[in-house]
């Protein structure tokens, strides 16, 4: 199972970036192999539809879940339609969130946040 985290930096010690569409990187962590992969978020370059571009990247990476915080309605719809579950994280190191996720402690995001259009 693979989960993606919107991250401020390139390794698991980096904090979670609360903004889904405009984060710097995604860390894709594989629960089975304990390996992680870093990809640069393409959405942050977009004029519009940043969340869509980011979500598309994760769909193409075949992730099963996403840990982030502010996910706008377009990205939310896209991830939901792809059966990717979303979990709410906090501004703490990604590796701690992964531990929380493994212990089933993270709350699932059940509805879209307000539009993030234009949000930095």
Q: Contact positions toward another protein, by CB under 8 A?
A: 22, 43, 46-50, 52-53, 55-56, 59-60, 70, 74, 77-78, 81-83, 114-120
State the minimum distance, in angstroms, from the CB of residue 46 to another protein: 5
Which residues, 6 or more positions from 16, have their beta carbon under 8 angstroms from its beta carbon?
5, 6, 7, 8, 67, 68, 69, 89, 90, 91, 92, 93, 94, 97
Can you point out the beta strands (E) in 11-106? 25-30, 35-40, 65-68, 85-88
Q: Which is nearer to another protein, 12 or 119 (CB)?
A: 119
Q: Least distance (Å) from another protein to the CB of residue 110?
A: 16
- Calculate the alpha carbon distances from 19 to 37, 69, 116 in Å: 19, 6, 8
In this complex, which beta carbon is closest to another protein, that of residue 36 or of residue 54?
Answer: 54
Closer of 25 and 98 to another protein (Cβ): 25
Q: How far is the CB of 45 from another protein (least distance, A)?
A: 9
Work out how close the CB of 58 gets to another protein at its nearest, in angstroms, rounded to a whole number: 11
Among 108, 88, 94, 69, smallest CA distance to 8 is for 94
């Amino acid at each position: 199972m693979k989960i993606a985290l919107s991250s401020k930096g390139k390794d698991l010690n980096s904090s979670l970036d609360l903004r889904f569409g405009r984060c710097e990187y995604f860390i894709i962590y594989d629960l089975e192999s304990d390996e992680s992969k870093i990809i640069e978020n393409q959405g942050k370059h977009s004029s519009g539809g940043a969340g869509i571009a980011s979500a598309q990247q994760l769909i193409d990476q075949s992730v099963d879940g996403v840990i982030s915080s502010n996910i706008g309605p377009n990205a939310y719809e896209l991830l939901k339609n792809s059966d990717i579950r979303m979990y709410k994280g906090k501004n703490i190191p990604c590796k701690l969130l992964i531990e929380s996720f493994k212990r089933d402690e993270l709350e699932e995001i059940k509805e879209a946040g307000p539009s993030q259009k234009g949000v930095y």
